[in-house]
């Protein structure tokens, strides 16, 4: 109930988890294509998304009821990565910001679950082997640090 009350008033949460993940992983600019992310600003919306996902993931993992760990941490990492990619886009004009979201999702999930197999799951999910080196480096570093 707490998750629903926190997430319902915010427009981009109405899009569903699959659509949100596709939008975070895309290399296209969020503010140009999707109205739910562009108002009031994409950076603020990404910050709200990441902060709410962080708080609600902590809440859901620490509750004494069975719930998943993989999907919430995957979305949390995707949000952190996309926010970092958006900051890099604003500062340096980097064009491909979707890769930051992919590496962030893999790194956070690998660190929390202490597995390296997350990289293989993302390779199958994404289908682009051009992202192999950043994903593997992020996975190994997160596994070593976590």
Checking if the pLDDT of 100 tops 80, the result is: yes
Whole-number average pLDDT of the chain? 85
Q: What is the pLDDT of residue 80?
A: 95
Please give the full DSSP string across 101-125, using - where no structure is assigned: HHHHHHHHHHHHHT-STHHHHHHHH
Look at residue 101 and tell me whether its pLDDT is greater than 90.
yes
At residue 73, the pLDDT reads 92
- Which of 137, 136, 111, 140 lies closest to 122, judged by CA? 136
- Each residue's pLDDT tens digit, 135-145: 999 999 999 99
DSSP 77-110: HHHHHHHHHHHHHHHH--S--HHHHHHHHHHHHH
What's the CA dihedral at 123, 125, 126, 131 to 10 degrees? -20
Q: What is the pTM of this model?
A: 0.86
pLDDT of 42-92, one tens digit each? 888 889 889 988 988 888 888 888 778 888 899 999 999 999 999 999 999
Q: State the pLDDT at residue 49.
A: 86
């Amino acid at each position: 109930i707490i998750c629903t009350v926190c997430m319902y008033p915010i427009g981009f949460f109405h899009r569903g988890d699959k659509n949100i993940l596709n939008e975070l992983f895309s290399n296209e600019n969020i503010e140009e294509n999707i109205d739910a992310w562009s108002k009031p600003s994409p950076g603020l919306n990404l910050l709200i998304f990441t902060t709410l996902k962080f708080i609600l993931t902590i809440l859901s993992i620490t509750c004494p009821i069975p719930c998943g760990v993989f999907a919430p941490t995957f979305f949390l990492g995707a949000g952190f990565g996309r926010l970092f990619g958006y900051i890099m886009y604003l500062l340096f004009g980097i064009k491909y910001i979707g890769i930051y979201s992919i590496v962030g999702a893999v790194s956070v999930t690998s660190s929390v679950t202490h597995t390296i197999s997350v990289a293989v799951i993302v390779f199958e999910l994404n289908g682009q082997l051009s992202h192999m080196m950043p994903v593997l480096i992020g996975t190994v570093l997160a596994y070593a640090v976590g």
